């Protein structure tokens, strides 16, 4: 590969696999992170991120080949590189407004080292227009260059942590430049370092919008599934059976209902559009999905004659989804709040988090099986460990609330518990 030197800014769950992927493909990669422990681990050939199949091997291989190192000195790494890929977290604040502080800090550091003709690609999900009008403008101001002196493109990261390398190899890589030369440069870069098809779109704004649209598609469709599941319950119909029948027609893609939508992606990105243009269906879907935890807890309360006061309820899974150590905006937090509001005592088990980590969320950690009997169990995140759960070990448990539609109804009942599901009357 002719002199491809890449700086990856943000060596997190997504950035480190990207850095390893580029290095394994033959680029010389410098990973940049503000966390010296992350940089130190990578420089020792170790992998500071857990739960990503193939990542420890890829980091070790790239490090041993001398093609992957890490630093906290982003300006120096940017100065040495001909491509800079930025993948820090962009989220929302408590008022649901976009928080660009991580990106702004990274931008400042990159600008200090930015040289003419460098290709800079933003991969973090951002509101439409940020690449050109915010990131690009600040890079130019901070570096003293003009926007036409370097190439600038946006390419959303569409992968999921836990399946990074599979996703990188198969999901088309959407790319849009702030001008034709930038788009072409980004396309050429990804064709060198990825096996997936590269999909060059008209401009950076189209690529930014595409990522928001695919996230909103999921959130709105999950909200629709939740609404239909609630309606099915009221009408005495099984949502799961009815949706399977509906989906036998090619234009129906009904999703699964559940306790809510968590993580730092799907529940966050709709706000990037709401802030800009406020489409009612997008806002309403957020409200519906965030109300599902309280709805489910009300169903649980009904099984205890409407009174959960003093009941011990074990929530299975702090993580927002199975198999991922990530609790940002997890439905577990909303479920625990709803339980507390009704006077119950929530306990949380999660095989991926230590008791101290669970307690840092203001929650009470529990073992599995719990050391003391619990009145009810709520399956919140379908970790692999929960699929074959030994229900007989849940001493005293009368009710099992299956928040992810994953447990066998008959098995729960055979264990002497009442089964409650979402979309199950
Ligand atoms: N996690 C996912 O499943 C996923 C999926 C698709 C897209 N994304 C995108 O990737 C972004 C990053 O997600 P993640 O899961 O890797 O986050 P993460 O929190 O695991 O990693 C972010 C890393 O950036 C570092 N960082 C923060 N500020 C920095 C700075 N100024 N300079 C250098 N490094 C800095 C942090 O120390 C951390 O190591 C998300 O905001 C999203 O846009 C994530």
Q: At the top level of CATH, which class does the domain 5-201 belong to?
A: alpha beta
Least confident of 215-224, 282-291, 319-328: 319-328
DSSP-derived letter for residue 146 is -
- Rounded Cα–Cα distance for residues 8 and 298 (Å): 46
Q: Which atom of ligand 1 is nearest to the CA of 91?
A: 41
Beta bridge partners of 420: 401
The predicted pLDDT at position 1 comes to: 57
Please, which pLDDT band fits residue 278 given cuts at 50, 70 and 90? confident
Residue 21 Cα to ligand 1 midpoint, Å, equals 16
Domain ranges of the chain: 5-201, 292-421
CATH of domain 292-421: 3.40.50.720
Alpha carbon nearest to ligand 1 atom 25, residue: 10
Contacts of 25 (CB under 8 A, 6+ apart): 1, 192, 193, 194
Q: Which atom of ligand 1 is nearest to the CA of 14?
A: 16
Contacts of 145 (CB under 8 A, 6+ apart): 114, 116, 139
Alpha carbon nearest to ligand 1 atom 28, residue: 102
Residue 14 Cα to ligand 1 midpoint, Å, equals 6
Strand ranges in 148-210 using DSSP code E only, listed in sequence order: 151-154, 173-177, 198-200
Residue 322 Cα to ligand 1 midpoint, Å, equals 20
> Hey, which of 20, 33, 160 would you mutate to test ligand 1's pocket, going by the most ligand atoms within 8 Å of its Cβ?
33
> Hey, which of 40, 87, 111, 208 would you mutate to test ligand 1's pocket, going by the most ligand atoms within 8 Å of its Cβ?
87
Please, which pLDDT band fits residue 337 given cuts at 50, 70 and 90? very high
Residues 103-134 have pLDDT tens digits of: 999 999 999 999 999 999 999 999 999 999 99
Would strands 68-71 and 98-99 be described as parallel, antiparallel, or unpaired? unpaired
User: What helix, strand, coil percent values describe the chain, rounded to 5?
Assistant: 45, 15, 40
Residue 236 Cα to ligand 1 midpoint, Å, equals 44
Residues 296-323 have pLDDT tens digits of: 999 999 999 999 999 999 999 999 999 9
Q: Report the pocket of ligand 1 as residue ranges, CB < 6 Å.
A: 9-15, 32-35, 38, 74, 87-90, 102, 105-106, 124-125, 157, 159-161, 265
Q: Do domains 5-201 and 292-421 have the same CATH topology?
A: yes
Strand ranges in 14-134 using DSSP code E only, listed in sequence order: 28-32, 68-71, 83-86, 91-92, 98-99, 119-122
The predicted pLDDT at position 2 comes to: 63
Residue 11 Cα to ligand 1 midpoint, Å, equals 7
CB atoms within 10 A of CB 160: 17
Q: Which atom of ligand 1 is nearest to the CA of 105?
A: 31
The predicted pLDDT at position 424 comes to: 85
Burial of 152 (0-12, 13-18, 19+ CB in 10 A): buried
Q: Is the dihedral of CA 165, 167, 172, 175 positive or negative?
A: negative
Strand ranges in 11-169 using DSSP code E only, listed in sequence order: 28-32, 68-71, 83-86, 91-92, 98-99, 119-122, 151-154
Is the Cβ–Cβ distance between 395 and 369 less than 8 Å? yes
In whole angstroms, what separates CA 296 from the centre of its chain?
23
């Amino acid at each position: 590969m002719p002199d491809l030197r890449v700086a990856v800014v943000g060596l997190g769950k997504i950035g480190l696999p990207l850095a390893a992927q580029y290095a394994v493909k033959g680029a010389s990669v410098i990973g940049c992170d503000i966390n010296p422990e992350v940089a130190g681990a990578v420089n020792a050939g170790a992998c500071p991120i857990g739960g990503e199949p193939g990542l420890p091997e890829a980091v070790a291989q790239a490090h041993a080949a001398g093609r992957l190192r890490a630093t906290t000195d982003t300006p120096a790494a940017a100065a040495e590189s001909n491509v800079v890929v930025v993948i820090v977290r962009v989220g929302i604040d408590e008022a649901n407004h976009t928080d660009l502080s991580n990106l702004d800090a990274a931008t400042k550091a990159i600008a200090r080292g930015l040289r003419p003709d460098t290709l800079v690609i933003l991969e973090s999900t951002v509101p439409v227009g940020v690449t050109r009008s915010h990131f690009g403008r600040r890079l130019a101001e901070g570096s003293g260059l003009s926007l036409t002196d370097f190439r600038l493109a946006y390419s959303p990261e569409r992968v999921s942590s836990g399946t990074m390398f599979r996703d990188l190899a198969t999901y088309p890589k959407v790319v849009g430049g702030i001008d034709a030369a930038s788009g072409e440069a980004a396309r050429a870069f990804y064709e060198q370092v990825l096996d997936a098809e590269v999909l060059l779109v008209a401009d950076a704004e189209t690529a930014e919008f595409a990522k928001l649209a695919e996230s909103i598609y999921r959130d709105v469709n999950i909200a629709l599934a939740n609404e239909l599941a609630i309606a099915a319950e009221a009408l005495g119909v099984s949502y799961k059976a009815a949706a399977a029948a509906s989906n036998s027609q090619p234009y129906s893609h009904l999703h699964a209902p559940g306790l809510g939508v968590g993580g730092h992606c799907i529940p966050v990105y709709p706000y990037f559009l709401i802030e800009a243009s406020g489409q009612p269906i997008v806002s309403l879907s957020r409200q519906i999905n965030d109300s599902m935890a309280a709805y489910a807890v009300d169903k649980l309360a009904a099984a205890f004659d409407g009174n959960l006061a003093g009941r011990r309820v074990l929530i299975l899974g702090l993580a927002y989804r199975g198999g991922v150590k990530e609790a940002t905006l997890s439905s577990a937090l909303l479920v625990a709040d709803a339980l507390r509001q009704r006077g119950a005592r929530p306990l949380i088990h999660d095989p991926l988090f230590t008791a101290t980590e669970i307690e840092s969320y203001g929650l009470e950690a529990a073992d599995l099986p719990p050391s003391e009997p619990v009145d009810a169990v709520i399956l919140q995140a379908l970790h692999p460990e929960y699929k074959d759960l030994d229900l007989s070990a849940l001493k005293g448990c009368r009710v099992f609330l299956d928040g992810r539609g994953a447990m066998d109804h008959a098995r729960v009942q055979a264990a002497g518990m009442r089964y409650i599901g979402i979309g199950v009357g």
